[in-house]
């Protein structure tokens, strides 16, 4: 079970009350506010899990929130749904993702996304799903995720998906390195 490596002195932890959530700023107020006001509440209610990447001083360098959900069979592209039953299908949801302004442009977003996807892949061995889905706030975040082979769901311009087949391929290529 490979883990993504982060710069020395940085560590990934499950969100806790001790983490300085209110100080986090990534440049997108919705992403900042979620971490400050909702992430821990949702985690305590078992609705999602948030993992924070702590920097050398204990500040939050970045975070991601994962959850589970369902998607209607008809929302998936034909190539994904061709062997699936016609019903609501389980999905992993990358609900929130952010990198602190002072840590942007250093490759941490790529590493943190790789870890989020690895967490989904590992969870999928116990709780299967058909895709990882996420909603993008703007064109630049959409471009970031498309570099990871996420594709647009038909009829949803800001909702992207990564099929489990593609996730498996990504994890196999990472493990081969």
pLDDT tens profile 153-175? 998 999 999 999 999 999 988 76
Separation of alpha carbons 48 and 158, rounded Å: 21
Question: What stretches in the chain show pLDDT beneath 50?
Answer: 1, 176
What are the chain's domains?
Answer: 11-176 (3.40.630.30)
C-alpha 49 chain-centroid distance: 10
The set of residues, in sequence order, having a beta carbon less than 8 Å from that of 150 and lying 6+ positions away, is: 132, 134, 160, 161, 162
Please provide residue 81's backbone torsions phi and psi, each rounded to the nearest 5 degrees. Answer: -85, -5
**Whole-model pTM?**
0.93
Please report the pLDDT score of residue 63 as a whole number: 98
Separation of alpha carbons 106 and 162, rounded Å: 24
Please report the pLDDT score of residue 175 as a whole number: 65
Please report the pLDDT score of residue 121 as a whole number: 96
Please report the pLDDT score of residue 27 as a whole number: 96
Closest to 113 (Cα-Cα) out of 97, 102, 129, 127: 97
Helix/strand/coil percent split, the chain, to 5:
35, 30, 35
Please report the pLDDT score of residue 142 as a whole number: 94
């Amino acid at each position: 079970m490979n883990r993504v490596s982060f710069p020395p002195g940085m560590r990934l932890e499950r969100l806790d009350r001790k983490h300085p959530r209110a100080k986090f700023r990534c440049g997108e107020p919705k992403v900042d506010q979620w971490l400050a006001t909702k992430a821990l509440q949702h985690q305590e209610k078992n609705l999602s899990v948030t993992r924070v990447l702590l920097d050398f001083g204990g500040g939050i360098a970045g975070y991601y929130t994962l959850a589970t959900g369902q998607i209607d069979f008809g929302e998936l592209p034909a190539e994904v749904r061709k062997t699936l039953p016609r019903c609501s299908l389980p999905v992993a949801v990358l609900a929130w993702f952010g990198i602190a302004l002072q840590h942007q442009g250093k490759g941490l977003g790529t590493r943190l996304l790789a870890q989020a996807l690895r967490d989904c892949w590992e969870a999928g061995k116990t709780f299967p799903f058909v895709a990882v889905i996420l909603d993008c706030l703007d064109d630049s975040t959409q471009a970031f995720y498309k570099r990871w082979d996420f594709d647009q769901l038909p009829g949803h311009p800001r909702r992207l998906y990564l099929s489990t087949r593609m996730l498996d391929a990504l994890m196999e290529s990472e493990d081969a390195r």
